Structure 1
Amino acid sequence: MKVMIVEDEMLLAMELESEVEMAGHEVVGTTMNREQASGLVKGHRPDFAFVDIHLQDGPTGIDVGRDLAAKDIPYVFVSGNIKKIPPDFAGALGAIEKPYTTNGMKNALAYISAILVGEEDIAPPASLVLAEDVQPRVYSRQL
């Protein structure tokens, strides 16, 4: 799975990149603001994205999320304050609250990977808060 990371805290971005790669996925890039995220999507078309809410250019992560949803790219928010996520989750699959544990992120990534390849009978991990109206088949695709 090709993964994009949208995170303005460099150490957190590097840690998440390492987690994604250890799980056997490819990180196509890490961006720190909405403009960079838009460019990366155009150049690399990720299969999935992790998106922080508050970025280098302000609280634009929700806008990044809406941009991704408009392009049918599934994503989750990774944020220290998931209460800032709008009720519709801006089209996100769900959210992971910071600080997260290595094991929590690993379990969330395994669940997300399974959903994206069409598995339906899998329980979400405690580390992942799901949007209420998520329909796994909407995200099902061949990776």
Structure 2
Amino acid sequence: MNAAHPDGPVVMVVEDELLVAATLEAALEDGGYHVLGPVATVSAAIGLLRTSQPDVALIDYRLATTTTETLLPSLKSRHIPVCVLTGYGASQLPAAYAGLTVLEKPFRIHTLMAALNKITI
């Protein structure tokens, strides 16, 4: 955990839907997390990782015309736990997402918080 941050654990949010991103940001901040982002592209997320070390990453599976699969190696190499948000079932995701925490959209905020608490411990 990034104990040096006064606002609590740092969550990097990668979500391309503006309303969803804003809702996540507000809910996370209300839940005691510091939000890094949100960003809407893999390249922007990689840019954040160049200068920051989040405690956990909350990533949408599909971003506009691509997926976040190319972001996974960077997160894994830095030992950053990942929670994947998706409209697909967990069994429909590529093998690269196996073993990650997956929340199917739509989900309730308390379910998100429980998942984040579980993987940041």
User: Is TM (by shorter chain) over 0.5?
Assistant: yes
Unmatched 5+ stretches in structure 1: 116-143
Shift of 1:51: 0.7
Q: Are 1:78 and 2:85 counterparts?
A: yes
Count of aligned pairs between the two proteins: 112
**CA–CA separation in structure 1 for the residues paired with 2:16 and 2:104:** 16
**Counterpart residue type for residue 47 of structure 1:** D
Q: What is the aligned counterpart of 1:23 among 28, 31, 44?
A: 31
Runs of 4+ in 1 over 4 A off after TM superposition: none
**CA–CA separation in structure 1 for the residues paired with 2:117 and 2:79:** 20
Shift of 1:88: 4.8
Unmatched 5+ stretches in structure 2: 1-8
**CA–CA separation in structure 2 for the residues paired with 1:29 and 1:101:** 21
**CA–CA separation in structure 2 for the residues paired with 1:77 and 1:65:** 10
Q: Which has the higher strand share?
A: 2
Supply the RMSD in Å over aligned alpha carbons: 1.8
1:97-136 map, 5 Å: 97-113=104-120, 115=121
SS of alignment partner, residue 50 of structure 1: strand
**CA–CA separation in structure 1 for the residues paired with 2:96 and 2:43:** 23
